Amino acid sequence: MTELLQQLINGLALGSILALIALGYTMVYGILRFINFAHGDVFMLGAFAGFYLAPKIATFVPLPSVAGALIIFGLSMVICAALGVLIERLAYKPLRKRPKLTVLITAIGVSLFLEYAGQFFFGASNKKFPDILPTWPVTKVLSLSVNSNQLIVLAVTLLLLLGLRFIVMKTRMGRAMRAVSFNPEAAALMGVNTDVVISFTFALGSALAAAAGILYAINYPSIDPLMGIMPGLKAFVAAVLGGIGNLPGAALGGIIIGVTETLVSGYISSTYRDAIAFAILIVILLVKPSGLLGKKEVEKV
Amino acid sequence: MNIWRGQFFSLAVVAAGCLLTGCNQSSPGPNAGGDVIKVGEYGSLTGSEATFGQSTHKGIQQAVDEINAAGGVLGKKIELHTEDDQSQAGQAATVVRKLISSDGVVAMLGEVASSRSLEAAPICQQSGIPMISPSSTNPKVTEVGDYIFRVCFIDPFQGTVMANFATKTLKAHTAAVLTDVKSDYSLGLAKFFKEQFLASGGKIVDEEKYSGGDKDFNAQLTAIKAASPEVVFVPGYYTEAGLIALQARQLGINVPLLGGDGWESPTLIPVGGKALEGDSFSTHFSADNTSPEVQTYLTTYKKRYNETSDAMAPLGYDAMMILADAIKRAGTTDGAKVRDALAATKDFKGVTGNITIDPNRNASKSAVILTITNGAIKYIQTVAP
């Protein structure tokens, strides 16, 4: 029983990081109807932004500290948001009127470009991510080990999710995003500047990816330029599983994939981990092709 | 998804590989063939085992320069042709074919990872090109054929050494094993550790698996914790070993972790940090060795690269030195003659110890056990074959 609970905690921590990445996939899909495969690499850039910022920040805020970690978090999110907008402007915007397949292939190109440019500039070998956040001793509750990083991952994911929901549902920009998602031409006719909305979506998605990258690096402090590939792929699966284009769906999908993987690794064999996670995706899509929460009446952004 | 993404990958890696590792070394021109001896090297210069490939390359390069500075072999300079296999399955075969058919090398050096040595070995065997693996320890590598050699010990020895260390030195009665299923090296080590540990009266309480490249091991470690072993054998590579140690300590597993030579890397301690305290691994070489060969090698390496040598670089160095020695004794670069000369290598004074090639083309030599104490790697004992 203890072991099962421990596995669930492990799975939740892993799943919430996947959920954060999945939100970026799902938002871009909701607005532009294409899969931004470079998203997993923006996640990697987020971790590297933190890696290179940490020594600079450490000169005026001692690390590890909560304040320092917050600054690094914020700056990395801003840097990646800018990069996300830049990628959209340079690679995707010129192709907006082209077939979706063209943009999809371009996205794969951008993904490879970021991965190998990363190897060129950062070096291919793995690097130790600095300790930016103080860790409290491992908490023992009913002989369960919960470390502070796992709790922080859960809390930050929840906060960002609520913040995102607020932006999408309660702000003018959020309303514009929903309008563009619903019908871009009609939204443009109503005076919504679709270019700005699309840039904003990329900025938001990339900032979330950066946050996920740093959370991931805090938990698994060994980073390399190819670290975004598998989490990116898993998060994509999570987004599809939850119903692509649907925000709560992406979060739910992430948690389901994370918990399933952990349970399979812990009780069956890690060899079947990916196979079973992907089999669940196939089964769900067979029963419900739009994904778990991908209903028509749910808002798409 | 995975599949077609994979193909994009392989297309891009060829281009990226050239960019990063310098294919420019490999165009000697039509007339250059006569007065140089071309030696091929394939290795993981980038990717997940990059520090192994990089170190090995540095060791080989140092050996090549020393040989050339001393006048070369048979009056000819050694010309090293290096290709990067990106630490990826499938790439080793591709680059080795290129080295043999397009560059025309007479002998091959590589790889560190047994999986990739096993990929390239059949190609070298068929082409009659002698291949020396600096540090692939899986027995299957040299079983491919009579042209395949190595300058390191093999997994049965390493697995046995660590099992004996666990039962005799650490007095452990129960052990858990956490294996990388993607790696022949890891599977081999795990197998021989288990056999010896059971033979010494110990009990394996749990066996868990992961795939190389994983970052989250909480699930497997939670299962291991439930089995409460006295030691955990983690025969993987450094990339994962540090993270495994961190997560094990966070879950409250406080028994020593043991590993093999795959742990040997400058990035092991930065990643694992305090979590690695008290953990031990077996390897080929210790810088604490005071013999003049070792000290000269270490000083030159330090001067040349401005860093301390790990165990992979001296193995690369020895592989090149043994090859040069064999070519010298054969008096020719003919594949079959060099092969015979390599097989006859006896008591060669290498940096990693005295190397004798046994009838199975493996090097018979001793292992050292190192323990991590106060954030530094300390020499514990040498175990003779």
Angle between helices A66-87 and A39-57 (to 10 degrees): 140
- Average pLDDT of span A40-46: 95
Q: What is the pLDDT of residue A15?
A: 93
Q: Does A301 fall in a domain?
A: no
- Decide if B214 and A124 are in contact by the 8 Å CB cutoff: no
pLDDT tens sequence across B174-215 = 999 999 998 888 999 999 999 999 999 999 999 999 988 888
- Residue B164 has φ and ψ, to the nearest 5°, of -65, -40
User: End-to-end CA distance of chain B, in Å?
Assistant: 47
Instruction: Please confirm whether the linkage preceding A62 is cis (ω < 30° from 0).
Output: no
E strand or H helix that includes residue A127: strand A127-128
Task: Name the least confident of B5-19, B60-74, B271-285.
Answer: B5-19
**Confidence tier at A137 by pLDDT (50, 70, 90):** low
E strand or H helix that includes residue A84: helix A66-87
Question: Domain range spanning residue A249?
Answer: 2-287
Q: Does A69 fall in a domain?
A: yes
**Confidence tier at B34 by pLDDT (50, 70, 90):** low
**Confidence tier at B354 by pLDDT (50, 70, 90):** confident
Q: Is the pLDDT of residue B32 over 70?
A: no
Q: Which residue has the higher pLDDT, B310 or B127?
A: B127
E strand or H helix that includes residue A192: none
Q: Does A299 fall in a domain?
A: no
Q: Does A272 fall in a domain?
A: yes
Q: Is the pLDDT of residue A37 over 70?
A: yes
Spell out which residues of chain A touch residue B267, defining contact as CB-CB under 8 Å. 125-128, 222
Q: Does A292 fall in a domain?
A: no
Q: What is the pLDDT of residue A295?
A: 63
Within 10 angstroms of residue B300's Cβ, the number of other Cβ atoms is 15
Suggest the residue from B46, B183, B221 to mutate for an interface test with chain A (most A CBs closer than 10 A): B46
Q: Do B32-153+292-365 and B155-283 share a fold?
A: yes
Determine the distance in angstroms separating the CA of B366 from the nearest CA of chain A, rounded to an integer: 29
Q: Is the pLDDT of residue A26 over 80?
A: yes
> Does B65 lie at the interface with A, CB-CB under 8 angstroms?
no
Task: Name the least confident of A240-244, B78-82, B172-176.
Answer: A240-244
Q: Does A300 fall in a domain?
A: no
Model-level ipTM above the cut of 0.85: no
**Confidence tier at B6 by pLDDT (50, 70, 90):** very low
**Confidence tier at A296 by pLDDT (50, 70, 90):** low
Domain total of chain A: 1
Domain ranges of chain B: 32-153+292-365, 155-283
Q: From the CA atom positions of chain A, what is the Rg in Å?
A: 19
A13, A128, A269 member nearest B209 (Cβ): A269
Q: What is the pLDDT of residue B95?
A: 95
Among the listed residues B218, B226, B248, B224, the one whose alpha carbon sits nearest the alpha carbon of residue A3? B226
B1, B45, B51 member nearest A233 (Cβ): B1
Q: Does A155 fall in a domain?
A: yes
Within 13 Å, how many C-alpha atoms sit on residue B356's CB side?
Answer: 8
- Decide if B20 and A269 are in contact by the 8 Å CB cutoff: no
> Does A261 lie at the interface with B, CB-CB under 8 angstroms?
yes
Q: Does domain B155-283 have CATH number 3.40.50.11540?
A: no
Using CA atoms, how far residue A222 sits from A48, B251, B269, B276, in Å, is: 11, 18, 11, 15
Among the listed residues A74, A77, A299, A297, the one whose alpha carbon sits nearest the alpha carbon of residue A168? A299
For residue A15, give the amino acid letter: G
For chain A, percent of residues with pLDDT exceeding 70: 96
- With b for 16 or more beta-carbon neighbours within 10 A and e for fewer, the A51-67 pattern comes to bebbeebbeeeebeeee
| CATH of residue A204 | 1.10.3470
- Decide if A270 and B208 are in contact by the 8 Å CB cutoff: yes
Question: What is the average pLDDT score of chain A?
Answer: 88
Cα angle, residue B51 at apex, residues B49 and B53 outer, rounded to 5°: 75
Q: Is the pLDDT of residue B25 over 50?
A: no
Distance CA B205, CA B306 (A): 45
Q: Does A266 fall in a domain?
A: yes
Distance CA B251, CA B262 (A): 24
For chain A, percent of residues with pLDDT exceeding 90: 46
- Average pLDDT of span B259-268: 87
Q: Is the pLDDT of residue B18 over 70?
A: no
Contact predicate A71/A133, CB 8 Å: no
CATH (residue range B32-153+292-365): 3.40.50.2300
- Decide if A10 and B208 are in contact by the 8 Å CB cutoff: no
- Average pLDDT of span A144-152: 81
Q: What is the pLDDT of residue B221?
A: 93
Q: Is the pLDDT of residue B3 over 80?
A: no
